[in-house]
Amino acid sequence: MYKTTMKIDGMMCGMCEAHINDAIRKAVPGAKKVKSSHKKGEGSFLSEEVPDEQVLKETIQETGYKVLSLENEEHRGGLWIF
């Protein structure tokens, strides 16, 4: 599982966050835990594979926002110890 975090320019409100989340889901159909914050200027999600950065950036830019940076890191879920 991979966590993708993006810095995004142009988000001003909760509706902007919804537009970004919809764009992420469109670009990465298997995306999970999709979230964004206009206050932080960030969007993030989890996916099984590293997403195609070009497709993701283009899909977000089509909605009127600009991806300033994009970072992928391997994500491991929490381990439960009983």
CATH number, position 29: 3.30.70.100
State the Cα–Cα distance between residues 46 and 68, nearest whole angstrom: 19
Total number of domains in the chain? 1
Residue 29 in any domain: the answer is yes
> What phi and psi values does residue 16 have, to the nearest 5 degrees?
-60, -40
Residue 17 in any domain: the answer is yes
Residue 30 in any domain: the answer is yes
State the Cα–Cα distance between residues 52 and 9, nearest whole angstrom: 20
Percentage of the chain beyond pLDDT 70 is 93
Residue 79 in any domain: the answer is no
Binning pLDDT at 50, 70 and 90, where does residue 75 land? Answer: confident
Find the domain containing 46 and state its range.
Answer: 2-74
Write the pLDDT tens digit of every residue in 15-44. Answer: 999 999 999 999 999 999 999 999 999 999
Residue 81 in any domain: the answer is no
Residue 82 in any domain: the answer is no
